Structure 1
Amino acid sequence: MTRILHVLDHSLPLHSGYTFRTRAILKSLRAAGMEVRGITGARHSEDGPPIEQVEGLTFHRVSHIPSGPPGLREWREIESLRKGIERVAADWRPDILHAHSPALCGMAGLRAARRLGLPFVYEIRAFWEDAAVGNGTGREGSLKYRLTRSLENRVVAGADAVFTICAGLRDDLVARGHDGAKIGLSPNGVDLTLFGDAPPRDGALAESIGIGSGPVIGFIGSFYDYEGLDDLIAAMPLLREHHPTAQLLLVGGGPMDEALRAQAAASSAGEAIVFTGRVPHSEVERYYSLVDVLAYPRKKSRLTDLVTPLKPLEAMAQQRIVAASDVGGHRELIEDGVTGLLFPPDDPPGIATSLARFIDEKYRWPGMREAGRLHVAANHDWARNIDRYRAVYQDLLRKRVCRGRRSRIERVIE
């Protein structure tokens, strides 16, 4: 049975889009007959044992937290994780190493794979230098930005196979001069077995938080600047000119929380904007039940043009109505007027006009719900998407056998 060791930035029991994608990948690979484990480095912030079982999945932890000045600290982090990978490999004997971005994980996996004589797969979920710009912790063109990009280029060049989660990321790598023949797509997906019919509206919850009959525009997630929630708040007074009972429900929190609350308090539509704060993951479905249109007003940037988000897919899997800004990452997921609505980014009046018209055409929503669900089933179901990995794994193992390559695990473990 083929064994795959996944090298990860962080994992369950932490909850994030990153960990949910990892969970889906590992469980789908296991259902396809493979043995899987994960290993995390210093950036997994949850305390736990050196080997942890979560939802039936096994994760090894490298708990060493490196010190030193920038640059040296990251190199020590790579080396610490590399050593941890080799320790796990000595005991568990994986057939393939599969590292997931960021590039720190990728370089640790690449160095370990070369020393162990194992095939190496690298998967890019986002360019982390662009993600840092998007969440306000980095600046485009800075030394750190360029070094991160350079490190990722080295990992991509050295990998036996590469996956990206969307065409935008793949096209960018090809434009940098990387071999497109070894770069495959593994799009964001959902486990459709987790999503059934949408639950009925939770009237008690609606009353307790002040949500009326709607229409209710909602966002459930993290409040980063690139999500464009300030544009959605700015659109509300104009939307209420057309639909006076419209409300905005914002569930979650993050770096922009305080600024968004201040903006809402100063808005003429402030009484129609409801913040809940962060809610337990087990309660999220109750809040989804109150929303008529799930809105994703991401601002236009390199990050949002190149990266596809997970949440619109989850919403469509639940047969929810989706409206999103017309940026590259959304266009890969949503067909305007068929599976949802695309509205202009960075344009509150344009957002308000589009949403008002969308609400007026509510008679089209049942068809959109069905089209969205069918689109996810055909293109983003992990039960099917996992075949992309399996084909690449089999090809790499076949090439390894043909070349007579043998694992060098015993010789490199001290």
Structure 2
Amino acid sequence: MTTENLRILRVVQSTYPEVVGGVGIHVHEMSRRQSEMGHDVTVLTTDNGDRSLPRTEHRDGYTLVRHKEVARLIDNSIFPGVIKSLYERANDFDIIHAHSHLYFSTNLSALISKITDSNLVITNHGFYSQTASTSIQKVYNRTIGKATLNSADRIFCYTPRAKNILREHNIGSPIEIISNGINCEIFAPENEEDETQQILFVGRLKNGKRPDALIRGFGKLVDEYPNYQLKIVGDGPMLPDLKTLCNEKNIQEMVTFTGELSYDEMPDVYRQSDLLVLPTKTEAAIPRVVMEAWACKTPAIMPNIQEIDAEIFKKGGILCDGTPSGIYDSVRQLIEDDQLRSTLGNTGREVVQEKYSWAETVEKTTETYYEVVNE
């Protein structure tokens, strides 16, 4: 029975800080914290087209090995060099941990783990893609996606609902429910009241996140609440069209596009905002940006999508239908009701403190590694 420190080979499309996003931050924090526990962690990833980055880098206690991206299809990085890296390294590690069955690198991890008879775990960061068409997803999830997930010795899901979705799609691998983690010391409210009247969006500017729906909803608010500003944090292919939309609505002076901001900058952004709006089409569970906002006592608005645990979400926010009119109604409700906004902010932070501790996330994940290795 193995009880010694583990050698962990993590495989992911991108990681923080090169790419700011939920999966990348999750991978970075997990790798950093497991390294602090004494485990040997190596992360195989892509350069995302940036040839200036070193192929191998040691940082925050873990090793990062980058591979050349040769193409990007439907927001999916294709880096064939990872095949050789996986095959050569697989038997030198106790476990392979791949992230999201939607990624090319996870498909390859599943294949190589079978060839080398290696232990494989996969974190489900959402069953559905925010980028691919519905028809492509149906075919993919019934074939390659299903085969990838069923090759895992364990699958990690954030919520019981996410687990149920996998079972509904005939995924038979053992599943562990382990919540995502948030650092409540970094993401915390300030004692002083901020007078900024600001609505916030955080995410990649692509169709699946639907930032255009928020802009249209905000456009309905400006006559009633001329002092409110909309801050949009993130970058992506929709940026030019979103700026054009702001000009068409004559709200360009009230909307700020910041581009991507660093993880360290985000706590202040949440604190300066009255509320967060995320009109996304699909998520793995309650999104990381919502939990970060809650940790700063900032309430949130989201569509009532099937992956969301509505009972939990309503403790820190309002669910709407995701349309511009639905967003308008929900934002207006929170703007008008200071007490509701304060209550949702307070209970949202309590939810994060109770349910989304990073220490517990890492501990449970690592315990599952040992179970898999010792089977």
Classify the TM-score, shorter chain.
0.7 to 0.9
Query: Normalising to structure 1: TM-score of the pair?
Result: 0.77
In the alignment, does 2:371 pair up with 1:367?
A: no
Q: Give the deviation of 1:21 after TM superposition.
A: 0.8
1:300-336: CA deviations, max 9, x gaps?
x4x34x5542111111122222222222344458532
Partner residue of 2:328 out of 349, 352, 359 = 352
Query: Normalising to structure 2: TM-score of the pair?
Result: 0.84
Partner of 1:205: none
In the alignment, does 2:276 pair up with 1:276?
A: no
Cα gap change, 1:265 to 1:105, in 2 (>3 Å):
same
Partner residue of 2:204 out of 222, 227, 230 = 222
- Contact between 1:248 and 1:273, CA under 8 Å: does it hold in 2? yes
1:2-48: CA deviations, max 9, x gaps?
22111122224412222111011112323444332211257574543
Cα gap change, 1:49 to 1:252, in 2 (>3 Å):
closer
Partner of 2:297: 319
Partner of 2:147: 154
* Cα distance in 2 between the residues matched to 1:199 and 1:141: 49
Return the letter of the residue paired with 2:317.
G
* Cα distance in 1 between the residues matched to 2:98 and 2:233: 32
* Cα distance in 1 between the residues matched to 2:316 and 2:60: 32
1:243-392 aligned within 5 A: 243-267=225-249, 270=251, 273-278=254-259, 280-281=261-262, 282-298=264-280, 301=281, 303-304=282-283, 307-331=285-309, 334-336=312-314, 338-346=315-323, 348-392=324-368
* Cα distance in 2 between the residues matched to 1:45 and 1:247: 34
In the alignment, does 2:111 pair up with 1:111?
A: yes
1:190-209 aligned within 5 A: 190-198=182-190
1:89-168 aligned within 5 A: 89=90, 93-101=92-100, 102-127=102-127, 130-131=128-129, 134-135=130-131, 138-142=132-136, 146-147=139-140, 149-168=142-161
Return the letter of the residue paired with 2:291.
L
Q: Unpaired segments of 5 or more residues in structure 2?
A: none
* Cα distance in 1 between the residues matched to 2:326 and 2:70: 47
SS at match of 2:352: helix
Partner of 1:172: 165
SS at match of 2:143: helix
Q: Percent identity?
A: 20
Q: Cα RMSD (Å) of the superposition?
A: 3.2
Return the letter of the residue paired with 1:384.
E
* Cα distance in 2 between the residues matched to 1:44 and 1:178: 33
Question: Whose radius of gyration is greater, 1 or 2?
Answer: 1
Range moving further from structure 2, 240-249 or 156-165: 240-249
Partner of 2:30: 25
- Contact between 2:120 and 2:153, CA under 8 Å: does it hold in 1? yes
Q: Give the deviation of 1:284 after TM superposition.
A: 4.2
1:141-169: CA deviations, max 9, x gaps?
24x86246511211222221112344444
- Contact between 1:294 and 1:323, CA under 8 Å: does it hold in 2? yes
Cα gap change, 1:197 to 1:77, in 2 (>3 Å):
closer
Partner of 1:207: none
Cα gap change, 1:122 to 1:289, in 2 (>3 Å):
closer
- Contact between 2:214 and 2:279, CA under 8 Å: does it hold in 1? yes
Cα gap change, 1:228 to 1:242, in 2 (>3 Å):
same
Partner of 1:83: 84
* Cα distance in 2 between the residues matched to 1:391 and 1:148: 29
* Cα distance in 2 between the residues matched to 1:271 and 1:64: 36
Q: Give the deviation of 1:396 after TM superposition.
A: 1.5
Range moving further from structure 2, 315-324 or 327-336: 327-336
Q: Give the deviation of 1:363 after TM superposition.
A: 1.9
Q: Give the deviation of 1:272 after TM superposition.
A: 5.7
- Contact between 1:294 and 1:322, CA under 8 Å: does it hold in 2? yes
* Cα distance in 1 between the residues matched to 2:328 and 2:30: 38
Return the letter of the residue paired with 2:134.
E
SS at match of 1:141: helix
Q: Give the deviation of 1:375 after TM superposition.
A: 0.7
* Cα distance in 2 between the residues matched to 1:64 and 1:279: 21
- Contact between 1:252 and 1:277, CA under 8 Å: does it hold in 2? yes
- Contact between 1:249 and 1:275, CA under 8 Å: does it hold in 2? yes
SS at match of 1:162: strand
How many residues are paired up?
365
1:111-144: CA deviations, max 9, x gaps?
33334433211222134xx42xx33xx33224x8
Q: Unpaired segments of 5 or more residues in structure 1?
A: 203-212, 400-414
